[in-house]
Amino acid sequence: MKKVKFIYNPFSGENLILSELDKVISIHQEFGYQVVPFRIEKGITIDEALNDIDESFYYILVAGGDGTVDSLVNAMKERNINIPLGILPVGTANDFARFLGLPQDIATCVRQILSSKPKGVDIGKINNKYFVNVASTGLFTDVSQKTDLNLKNTIGKLAYYLKGLEQLPNFRKLKVNIKSKEVEYDGYMYLLLVFNGQTAGSFNLATSADVMDGYLDVIMFKAITIIDLIPLFIKVLRGEHLDSPNVLYFKTDNLIIESPEDIVTDIDGERGPDFPLNIQCIKNGIEVLGIK
């Protein structure tokens, strides 16, 4: 009987996975798999979940949001573990899983995973760390990092929006330098996002993203007047912002970002590295199950 390592975060979202554990195990047994569970908790790193991984494991199943998936992918890469990954989207932010077409219903998602064949998908690399959905810098990029975990689990995405409102007094233009073989930009911006996925905080920003094309989608919101921000925001809601002259948009597989500003970077909701940033697309960087 092949084994499945099941890594779950009991604190993700609204603790949804806790009421679904038996369902996850019973469906796997129905398909002829033995589930080996690992519970993420304070003081234990996700890396420890991989200590017993060997050739007897068919795949790794992770239940959590983008941050949990990101941490697991980094741990797998560090240990050179290349077996397929399955994702149960039960976190506050499930942007990457939603982009891959994975259903939120746990039983449906498990069956879709077990009935599929692994497909190679791209991942991003920022300096020496990997990301699955989005890397960002500029205004509001540390909102997720500063949002209280208990608040996040209690009221979900609303917690991010409330924390974002707190940072409005810090609204200012930021100096940035971007270099790639496609584009060079030296000027001011408000926000810069580098997408492997398509959405951030449920906003569909990288509308042309393709997780299997070998490219990252770069979207930079230029520093403009407050008056011009309102029509730009309307374009964002309509999905028409990529053609705006106030947005720099391009696809690339490698870029360098520098900034003298005292701003942080964010990788799938967690603190990222300091500048300068060397960001690459790793084509077929991981294999994922459940993609239709």
In percent, the amount of the chain with pLDDT more than 70 equals: 88
| 165 pLDDT higher than 90 | no
Active-site residue flag, 55: no
Note if the pTM is more than 0.75: yes
Going by C-alpha positions, the residue among 256, 275, 274 that lies closest to residue 182 is 256
260: preceding bond cis by omega (within 30 degrees):
no
Contact 111, 276 (CB under 8 A): no
Six-digit token string for 57: 């494991």
13-22, 27-36, 65-74, 163-172: the lowest-pLDDT one: 163-172
Domain ranges of the chain: 2-115, 129-283
More confident residue, 128 or 270: 128
Burial of 149 (0-12, 13-18, 19+ CB in 10 A): exposed
| 110 pLDDT higher than 80 | yes
- Predicted local confidence at residue 202, as pLDDT: 72
Fold held by 129-283: Tumour Suppressor Smad4 (2.60.200)
Contact 126, 267 (CB under 8 A): yes
DSSP string, 51-78: TT--TTEEEEEEEE-HHHHHHHHHHHHH
Give how far Cα 286 sits from Cα of 98, 107, 113, Å.
17, 24, 15
| 194 pLDDT higher than 90 | yes
Q: How confident is the model at residue 161 (pLDDT cuts 50, 70, 90)?
A: very low
Q: How confident is the model at residue 270 (pLDDT cuts 50, 70, 90)?
A: confident
Burial of 141 (0-12, 13-18, 19+ CB in 10 A): buried
Segment 237-261 shows an average pLDDT of 95
Q: How confident is the model at residue 162 (pLDDT cuts 50, 70, 90)?
A: very low
* From 14, 261, 270, 287, the catalytic residue: 270
Backbone torsions φ then ψ of 180, nearest 5 degrees: -150, 175
| 181 pLDDT higher than 70 | yes
Distance CA 60, CA 50 (A): 9
Q: How confident is the model at residue 92 (pLDDT cuts 50, 70, 90)?
A: confident
Task: Give domain 2-115's CATH superfamily.
Answer: Probable inorganic polyphosphate/atp-NAD kinase; domain 1 (3.40.50.10330)
More confident residue, 118 or 173: 118
